[in-house]
Amino acid sequence: MEGHVLKVLRTIEEIREQTREWRAAGSSIGCVMTMGALHEGHLSLVDAARKECDKAVLTLFVNPIQFGPAEDFARYPRTEEADFRALRDRECDAVFAPATETIFPSGERHIDQMRTKVIVSGLTDVLCGPQRQWTTGSGTQGSGHFDGVTTEVLKMLHIVDCDRTYWGEKDYQQYAIIRAMVEDQGLQVAVVPCPTVRETDGLALSSRNTYLDEGQRAIAPQLYAELRRGARRIAEQGIDVIGETTTQIARSLLAHGFDLVEYVEVYTSALRPAVADTPVEELRVFAAVHIGGARLLDNVAVADEVGR
């Protein structure tokens, strides 16, 4: 809506004052946490927050402590003004866009510098967890990506007093970890999953899609196509074919032109391995691949392919 007022809040005091004001008026608050470079996937989360809550707030913060030393923190896309325009169009009520020093005033820029860390064990040991560990400058094994995510997200949840927080299922492991952390910490906030938003050719929307050149962009939709094909096979033939199915998906992805397949794996929606009596409807097929300068994630629920 043209002319919609988006409140841009930069300090912790400002966002806390705003949420106190909303609370005093009896308003419920939905929060979407992002690193900016907003696309339709992020904006669909804002839509969900606006539909289910009286007020919608988005956090825009490129979190340094979730990036490893060799990862893309410096070149991660930053498009703040365009993000603000998009949020006005979606009638978001406020955006909390703090400076790095506001969230980490003691100068921490890596998870290993943090005095207090939030670590969710178990769920971080699979899929992207082992892939996004790193070695510190001293040569010792450092904390991983998800420790940086949970440490920052818990701090944001303490800063932004919300009733519901919305997370996309493209990053399903991240959603499951945040949900577990909130449950373990006894926080009174609902962690709400929202469906993956895709391009018309099936590619899951991601800020990192901007790293793809024209040729790589033409290949990228094959990730979703192969995951769907594998999920359909598991739906039809059961868990006994999981091993050969994941192997075939990986081979097919490399044949399509992906540079590297980090993993193709099958877990339940609770990120547990499939066992003999696991219903196929509880399973998801997960993958992480590299093409050019982009690392792409996707997953498909086997239940969505039953009967197709």
Give per-residue pLDDT as tens, 24-83. 999 999 999 999 999 999 999 999 999 999 999 999 999 999 999 889 999 999 999 999
| Average pLDDT estimate for 183-211 | 97
State the virtual CA torsion across 231, 234, 236, 240 in degrees, nearest 10. Answer: 180
- Give residue 1's pLDDT band: very low, low, confident or very high (50, 70, 90): very low
Same structural domain, 89 and 181? yes
Asked whether residue 148 falls in the same domain as residue 219, the answer is no
Do the Cβ atoms of 57 and 92 come closer than 8 Å?
A: yes
Cβ neighbors of 112 (< 8 A, separation 6 or more) are 136, 142, 143
- Which neighbouring-strand residues pair with 287? 264, 298
Q: Is 292 exposed, middle or buried (0-12, 13-18, 19+ CB in 10 A)?
A: middle
Confirm whether residue 289 is marked as ligand binding: no
Q: Within this chain, do residues 14 and 143 fall inside the same structural domain, yes or no?
A: yes
Nearest of 236, 238, 229 to residue 264 by alpha carbon? 229
- pTM for the full model? 0.95
Per-residue pLDDT, 139: 58
Catalytic residue at 158? no
Residue whose tokens read 């440490």: 151
Is 216 annotated to bind a ligand? Reply is no
CB atoms within 10 A of CB 102: 15
Same domain, residue pair 118 and 211: no
Q: Domains in the chain: how many in total?
A: 2
Mean pLDDT in residue range 17-29: 98
Q: Per the domain annotation, does 239 fall within a domain?
A: yes
Provide the 10 A C-beta neighbour count for residue 72: 14
Distances (CA, A) of 183 to 30, 74, 78, 132, 229: 18, 33, 32, 24, 34
pLDDT at position 132 over 80 = yes
Q: Is 226 annotated as a binding residue?
A: no
**Domain boundary residue among 138, 167, 194?**
194
R_g over Cα of the chain: 20
* 42 in a known ligand binding site: yes
Question: Is 208 annotated for ligand binding?
Answer: yes
Examine the fold and report which residue of 194, 218, 251 is the final residue of a domain before the chain moves on: 194
H/E element holding 158?
helix 145-159
Q: Which of 4, 42, 145, 158 is catalytic?
A: 42
Residues 180, 33 share a domain: yes
Residue 51 and residue 178 in one domain:
yes
**Residue 218 sits in the same domain as residue 169:** no
Are 268 and 186 contained in the same domain?
Answer: no
The answer to whether residues 170 and 296 belong to one domain is no
Q: Is 207 annotated as a binding residue?
A: yes
Q: Does some domain include residue 190?
A: yes
Please give the structure tokens belonging to residue 42.
């992020």
The reply to whether 181 and 257 lie within a common domain is no
Q: Is residue 134 part of a domain?
A: yes
- 99 and 139 in a single domain? The answer is yes
What is the C-alpha to C-alpha distance for residues 113 and 216, in angstroms, rounded to an integer? 36
* 111 lies in some domain: yes
What 8-state DSSP symbol labels residue 1? -
Provide the CATH number for the domain around residue 297.
Answer: 3.30.1300.10
Same domain for 211 and 113: no
Q: Please report the pLDDT score of residue 134 as a whole number.
A: 77
> Is 86 marked as binding a ligand?
no
Is 174 labeled as ligand-binding? yes
Cα–Cα distance between 132 and 66 in angstroms, integer? 9
Range of the domain at 68: 7-194
Domain end position, chosen among 131, 159, 194: 194
Query: Does position 138 have pLDDT exceeding 90, yes or no?
Result: no
Host H or E run for residue 56: strand 55-60
The answer to whether 261 and 254 are in contact (CB under 8 A) is: yes
Which of the residue ranges 68-72, 102-106, 262-266, 270-274 would you say has the lowest mean pLDDT? 68-72
The CATH number of the domain holding residue 49 is: 3.40.50.620
Tokens of 308: 């197709």
